Amino acid sequence: MFRIYGKLVKKGRTLWDHTVEIDDLSLTRTKKVFLALDEICHEADLAAPVWLDSNKQDFIRRARTRFSQDNFVEEIDFDYLDFQVIEEEFY
């Protein structure tokens, strides 16, 4: 199982959170990540953020990144979207 956790944070407090589980073993890790981000954004009623180079590097190194106002085209009413892999099984 592949699980990703996303939460909206403002002033250090969690405003909203959601966990996505993906069981499809035919998908690549990258596809799973993008599917999970799409679901989290859909559930939070957000447009998908833009992946900057810093986000890509953070995610590659730590399986976690934060999307702040710089990543969104529209104005956001939170400080950042924390996005992280919480479970990943390799077959």
Dist. CA 35–CA 13, nearest whole Å: 26
Where are the domains positioned within the chain? 2-88
Could you tell me the sign of the dihedral formed by the alpha carbons of 44, 81, 84, 35, in that order?
A: positive
What predicted TM-score, i.e. pTM, was given to this entire model?
Answer: 0.93
Q: What is the pLDDT along the chain (91 residues), one digit of tens a residue?
A: 999 999 999 999 999 999 999 999 999 999 999 999 999 999 999 999 999 999 999 999 999 999 999 999 999 999 999 999 999 886 5
